[in-house]
Structure 1
Amino acid sequence: MSNISLTRRGAALAAALMSASLVLTACGGAGDDTGVKAMETAGATAAATRSVKAVNGTIQVPANPQRVVTIGNTNLPFIDLGGKPVGVTEASDSELGVLPVEQRTVYEAAEIIGSDGGEVDLEKLAALKPDLILVQFHSNDWDKVGKRLEAIAPTVLWGLDTEWKAFADALGEAGNVKDVLSRQKAEFKDKVAKIQTSYGKIIDGTSFVDVSRGDWSDPGTFYIADIGCSEIARDDIGMDLPEAAEGKDPLAYEALPFEQIGELSKYDVITYPVDAQGKPTEPFVPVTATNTWKALPAVSSGRALGVFCPGNNSYGPVNRYLDSLDRALATLPAKK
């Protein structure tokens, strides 16, 4: 398959149309507007693509892509922004389980092209005839399939270290879903302001800790969450939450034994993960069953707050998290 870039194709076509317009203008009479129309067509063609910056360079993408394939971490954020990919890589049951019904329907309507970024079925992908491929996965996966993806369609790559707000902006630009993005960003701003206004006095001077446990955690362990949704609470809301020292691995990377649950007593308020129905997530249930947890001052006084976090890689799930946090903070007694 020829791998001529859209830039070169667009430039060549524009040049051809420009030459044709000059010939037509020379042959036409004073009132003949054929040449003008040809030049307008050339301009429209040149405007049919635009440049976006990515890890793999400056990429020429369709101005209005119609057949988008998402790979890795771009799947659900693109759908959250209103996109309807024709192809996706597999998402976990836990990720799909917290999606709104309409978003899950969009995901399930797309063709599964692989289990993850490095295991993409390139023949199946090419058969979808995409006009844009959006990718976020490990650099090792890019080394395996990146050049072959670029040979199929314009491919935009983001690194795993891309900050979530920057990622949403870039995804909205590349995928031409900026209208939904703008609305979600406005909602995010309003929700943050509401929480700060409503609970500012409670938050001020209160120490919080966000604890969690995943289905990957070793038996008898939990961790202090300083990444994910707790980042939103700390960095955007202004809640006093522990975080790793600069240059150190996140606290969330350290598995703590249940014997250390008692050390959480030094915090005024504890937040922990619940599902959409407000029940402790299945992996976290063993923590709540321990006598040490039940004896914590925050737990016995109603200052242990279950908060639903469906994700933090795009504005939609973050806004749902903020709604849950709002409801949880509303249960805290006001400071005197």
Structure 2
Amino acid sequence: MSNISLIRRGAAVAAALLSASLVLTACGDSGDSGDKAADSGSDKAAGTRSVKAENGTVEIPVDPRRVVTIGNTNLPFIDLGGKPVGVTEASESELDVLPKEQRSAYEAAEVVGSNGGEVDLEKLAALKPDLILVQFHSSDWDKVGKQLETVAPTVYWGLDTEWKDFADAIAEAGNVTDALGRQKAEFKAKVTKIQKTYGKTIEGTSFVDVSRGDWSDPGTFYIADIGCSEIARDDIGLDLPEAAEGKDPLAYESLPFEQIGELSEYDVITYPIGADGRPTKPFEPVIGTNTWKSLPAVTSGRALGVFCPGNNSYGPVIQYLDSLDSALATLPAKQ
């Protein structure tokens, strides 16, 4: 699974398009320290170690102190306890759902450019980073990667990196593996709890996850089969629809409101809510339709709002699992 949140898909697509014109003008203190990667291949005496990424094997500091995060690496690094000295812009909607201390860590960093837009090389170099973490579109790396590497050791990942692999890689490169270990343990415990608590309810029950983004055309919605719903399907075991192998995700297809009635074939519907428990603003037009209000799942209390702040690192995924746990608790157990 890629680490691009379904809720943020529209922003991610836009970023990929905008970043095609990436311009580099002119020319972190990391969080918890942890065990170094086993396959380090490093010269510890020289204070460096080797990590593997999409741009090859990169020699980086054993304990990086001044980390700059670019693109989608911003929030995953901070989620692991990292404190970058430089970041690229994150949207207000992304920042709004961050825990207070994480938002403070982001706001304490110098903004060196827009996410997928512009990076100011002079500003970046002035920060004297000892490590740059990057994730954006591969075409942009082809254009600017070498320039970033002239500033500091740069580790790059493409947009299709699976989120768990991405968390592992960020933690290794940024030397925040202690936090990763704790998050993994919490994630595993929550998955196990949900499976044990709601196993009988889930078994034989058909689910569908529907959503709308602020990028969606008026009068349309989509069936979500990537992002947090993928976690519900693959990790928890919910029976959720997904695209056929080799086909584009169902989430990429906009469906007209006229097809809302087709959701009646599913036992349970999940839809997006914010941290306040209310339907997200983009989804409000869906629940305002008479067709939605008359769906069997809606009239029987089996339409469940679930909060998904993101799916590109363990912290937001754990928040999603907590919300899913609470939502499933409202379903009657099967006799």
For residues 277 and 95 of structure 1, what CA distance do their matches in structure 2 show?
A: 15
Q: 1:271·1:305 contact (CA, 8 Å) conserved in 2?
A: yes
Q: Deviations over 1:163-198 (max 9, x none)?
A: 000000011000000000000000000000000000
What is the number of residues matched between the two proteins?
294
For residues 167 and 46 of structure 1, what CA distance do their matches in structure 2 show?
A: 28
Which of the pair is proportionally richer in helix? 1
Any unmatched runs of 5+ in structure 1? Answer: 1-42
Q: Deviations over 1:201-244 (max 9, x none)?
A: 00000000000000000000000000000010000000000000
Question: What residue number does 2:125 align with?
Answer: 126
Worse overlay, 300-309 or 93-102 = 93-102
- 2:314 corresponds to 1:315: yes
- Shift in Å, 1:44: 8.2
SS in 1 for 2:259: helix
- 2:76 corresponds to 1:85: no
Q: Deviations over 1:117-163 (max 9, x none)?
A: 45111110000000000000001211221101100100000011100
Question: What residue number does 1:200 align with?
Answer: 199
Question: What residue number does 2:325 align with?
Answer: 326
Aligned ranges 1:1-336 → 2 under 5 Å: 46=45, 48-336=47-335
Q: 1:212·1:272 contact (CA, 8 Å) conserved in 2?
A: yes
Any unmatched runs of 5+ in structure 2? Answer: 1-41
For residues 130 and 292 of structure 1, what CA distance do their matches in structure 2 show?
A: 55
Q: 2:43·2:49 contact (CA, 8 Å) conserved in 1?
A: no
For residues 331 and 257 of structure 1, what CA distance do their matches in structure 2 show?
A: 29
Q: 2:44·2:62 contact (CA, 8 Å) conserved in 1?
A: no
- Shift in Å, 1:93: 1.3
For residues 106 and 63 of structure 2, what CA distance do their matches in structure 1 show?
A: 20
Q: Percent identity?
A: 82
- Shift in Å, 1:94: 1.2
For residues 97 and 143 of structure 2, what CA distance do their matches in structure 1 show?
A: 31
TM-score under structure 1 length normalisation: 0.86
Larger radius of gyration: 1
For residues 56 and 205 of structure 1, what CA distance do their matches in structure 2 show?
A: 45
Q: 1:82·1:177 contact (CA, 8 Å) conserved in 2?
A: yes
- Shift in Å, 1:116: 2.2
Q: 1:300 to 1:145 in 2, by over 3 A?
A: same
SS in 2 for 1:273: strand
Question: What residue number does 2:22 align with?
Answer: none
Q: CA RMSD in A?
A: 1.1
For residues 238 and 47 of structure 1, what CA distance do their matches in structure 2 show?
A: 47
For residues 157 and 117 of structure 1, what CA distance do their matches in structure 2 show?
A: 14
Q: 1:118·1:144 contact (CA, 8 Å) conserved in 2?
A: no
Q: Deviations over 1:262-283 (max 9, x none)?
A: 0000000000000011100000
- Shift in Å, 1:307: 0.2
Question: What residue number does 2:32 align with?
Answer: none
